[in-house]
Amino acid sequence: MITEFTKTVSGSGVKLTPQRMAILDCLNGNESHPSAEEIFRHVSQTYPMMSFATVYNTLSMLRDKGLVLELTIDPARKRYDPNVKLHHHVICLGCGKIADVHAEYELDVPADIAEAFVMSGNHVEFYGTCRACGNAAQLKGE
């Protein structure tokens, strides 16, 4: 299925192979911020001969072209977000769920930091416990 996301990727000069289309379909509108491993598991159901390297290399290429965000929220694995508009994230400390926090503003950088660094962007992470994890803890009596 050709989506706006697929059109954007295609318009950037990316060759759309069937394997890349499967990866794009997995990412399109996906707000779960999947890891490369999760994407691989999903697309290998349709393309069992696809290698993990194909998924990883495609994600790296999409990141380099600015078509997906690569998040390093989880030190064990990178996560991928097809929403490249300015926004932040909230992470559940219980289950690791990541959700978008929509904010259309940049943070003010203190003058001493701005003088010491050439800023390329910003990203804020909020941490807490999602309702499902909070409810589970209450049921356990924690």
The CATH number of residue 109's host domain is 3.30.1490
Q: Are residues 77 and 25 in the same domain?
A: yes
Cα(73)–Cα(109) distance, rounded to whole angstroms?
A: 21
Q: Are residues 63 and 98 in the same domain?
A: no
pLDDT of 1 above 70: no
Cα(115)–Cα(43) distance, rounded to whole angstroms?
A: 45
Contacts of 28 (CB under 8 A, 6+ apart): 3, 5, 6, 82
Say what the pTM is: 0.81
Q: How many CB atoms are closer than 10 A to CB 29?
A: 11
The domain in which residue 92 lies consists of: 87-140
Q: Are residues 77 and 94 in the same domain?
A: no
Q: Are residues 92 and 72 in the same domain?
A: no
Q: Are residues 75 and 106 in the same domain?
A: no
Q: What's the CATH number where 43 sits?
A: 1.10.10.10
Cα(90)–Cα(73) distance, rounded to whole angstroms?
A: 10
The tens digit of pLDDT for each residue in 122-132 reads 788 899 999 99
Q: Which of 50, 66, 81 is the last residue of a domain?
A: 81
The tens digit of pLDDT for each residue in 15-34 reads 888 999 999 999 998 999 99
Q: Are residues 96 and 52 in the same domain?
A: no
- Strands (DSSP E) along 76-131, which ranges? 77-81, 87-92, 98-102, 125-128
Q: Are residues 73 and 20 in the same domain?
A: yes
pLDDT of 137 above 90: no
Q: Which of 81, 97, 115 is the last residue of a domain?
A: 81
Cα(9)–Cα(15) distance, rounded to whole angstroms?
A: 9
pLDDT of residue 26: 94
Q: How many Å is the maximal CA-CA distance in the chain?
A: 55
Interhelix angle for 18-27 vs 52-64, to 10°?
A: 70
pLDDT of 99 above 90: yes
